Amino acid sequence: MKKAKVTVVGAGFVGATTAQRIAEKDLADVVLIDVVEGLAEGKALDIQQSASAEGFDARIVGTQDYALTERSDVIVITAGLARKPGMSRDDLLFKNAEIVSQVTDQCARRSPESLLLIVTNPLDVMTQLAWKRSGFENRRVFGMAGVLDSVRYGYFIARELGISVRDVRAMVLGGHGDSMVPLPRYSTVNGIPLETLVPAEKIEAINHKTRNGGAEIVNLLKTGSAFYAPSSSACAMVEAILRDSGRILPCSVYLEGQYGLSGVYCGVPVKLGRQGVLEVLELPLTGPESEALRRSSEEVSRNAGKLAAAGFLN
Ligand code: APR
């Protein structure tokens, strides 16, 4: 069987760790690319040299040259600036829009059949931008953050209950920002509704911790943002795609009427496989849940409006 090829753009903390996780799971050969001379080459060599210790056969090359990314199956875009303390994800908007536009142009024409998985923040609107720039069908362009928000939620639930994370199914919808929408009603412990196990005020505290999960890490790191859980989440999506597993994962996808939302990228559960987004799952929501999702999507639309006004989404 032909080995899959994944390009990871951006060899910083998130990109290099994503490349490492993909290689260690032997999911694909990996091309790691960055604008900074030597950075991707150095990190790729280092990861490659761990192969016999880790026991993987995947090949990983680092480069500044987009020619090496040709005919990738999946392109993971992590290039951009990371948040600094006190900086919101939206502060990054224009700078990262420039970077994501350039990178998408470079990648899309060399890998016209690929899937684009966007990780750069502010996530949902960067995904919308990459979709527009690439000209790809929307099922082939999606963003990572729902998996990250949900694994954080799952971890906090497991810790609250003192149980294994393996038994927790946690669901977070909405944009990847302060308005994300944790859904306790659709979160369970081995099928047991969370709300029967944890009192409402504790659930609210866990929801808050989840929304604040990224910021808490930024405040501690001071010079960067989270990368272990983000790279795990991106790798889980790459795995679902390359194994064509049909896993149901919350991802940022283009909505066309689902959940009453249209023309905007937002986090909802989807079935993910080799062709990208195979299906958007529409969970029945209560009035307040729908309202929270609508508010979250409005934040994304506002950013999309700012980008459109600056000529990025034309
Ligand atoms: N092309 C390729 N790489 C680029 C470009 C570009 N045009 N512009 C910047 N980069 C690279 C940088 O050189 C850097 O190595 O992107 C990398 C970003 O890495 P870090 O600064 O370490 O940031 P990281 O923590 O990896 O976060 C990357 O993911 O989670 C999000 O908010 C985060 O938007 C940020 C992104």
Q: What is the pLDDT of residues 198-231, one digit of tens each?
A: 999 999 999 999 999 999 999 999 888 999 999 9
Active-site option among 176, 186, 266, 280 = 176
Identify whether 69 is part of a domain: yes
- How much distance in Å is there from the Cα of 79 to the middle of ligand 1? 4
- How much distance in Å is there from the Cα of 228 to the middle of ligand 1? 14
Atom of ligand 1 nearest to the CA of 106: 1
| Same domain assignment for residues 153 and 101 | no
Taking the CA atoms of 52, 57, 58 and 59 in sequence, report the sign of the dihedral they define.
Answer: positive
> Residue 223 has what pLDDT?
87
| Same domain assignment for residues 31 and 66 | yes
| Same domain assignment for residues 181 and 280 | yes
Average pLDDT over residues 136-154: 96
| 280 three-class SS | strand
| 312 three-class SS | coil
Residues in the chain: 314
> Residue 1 has what pLDDT?
63
**Ligand 1 neighbour 249 (Cβ under 6 A):** no
- Last residue within a domain, chosen from 144, 171, 199: 144
pLDDT band at 90 (very low <50, low <70, confident <90, very high): low
| Same domain assignment for residues 161 and 301 | yes
Residue whose CA is at the smallest distance from ligand 1 atom 15: 12
**pTM reported for the whole predicted model:** 0.97
Average pLDDT, rounded, for the chain: 95
At residue 170, what is the residue type?
A
- How much distance in Å is there from the Cα of 81 to the middle of ligand 1? 5
Residue whose CA is at the smallest distance from ligand 1 atom 29: 120
Whether 17 shows a pLDDT value over 90: the answer reads: yes
| Same domain assignment for residues 87 and 135 | yes
> Residue 65 has what pLDDT?
98
Report the C-alpha gap between 153 and 65 in whole angstroms. Answer: 38
For 22, the domain range is 5-144
> Residue 81 has what pLDDT?
87
Tell me the pLDDT tens digit for each residue of 20-37: 999 999 999 999 999 999
**Ligand 1 neighbour 278 (Cβ under 6 A):** no
Tell me the pLDDT tens digit for each residue of 164-201: 999 999 999 998 888 899 999 999 999 999 999 999 99
| Same domain assignment for residues 94 and 239 | no
Residue with more model confidence, 91 or 59:
59
- Last residue within a domain, chosen from 116, 144, 172: 144
Whether 285 shows a pLDDT value over 90: the answer reads: yes
Identify whether 314 is part of a domain: no
> Other C-beta atoms within 10 Å of 82: how many?
21
Instruction: Specify the residue for token string 């409005």.
Output: 298
| Same domain assignment for residues 32 and 91 | yes
| Same domain assignment for residues 229 and 130 | no
| Same domain assignment for residues 157 and 198 | yes
Q: pLDDT > 70: what percent of the chain?
A: 98
Has 208 been annotated as catalytic? no
Residue with more model confidence, 162 or 313:
162
pLDDT band at 281 (very low <50, low <70, confident <90, very high): very high
Strands (E), the chain: 5-9, 29-33, 60-63, 74-77, 115-118, 141-143, 168-169, 172-173, 181-182, 188-189, 192-193, 247-256, 262-273, 276-280
In order of 180, 253, 258, 266, 294, the CA distances from 286 in angstroms are 16, 21, 15, 18, 12
As for how many domains the chain has, the answer is 2
Atom of ligand 1 nearest to the CA of 120: 34
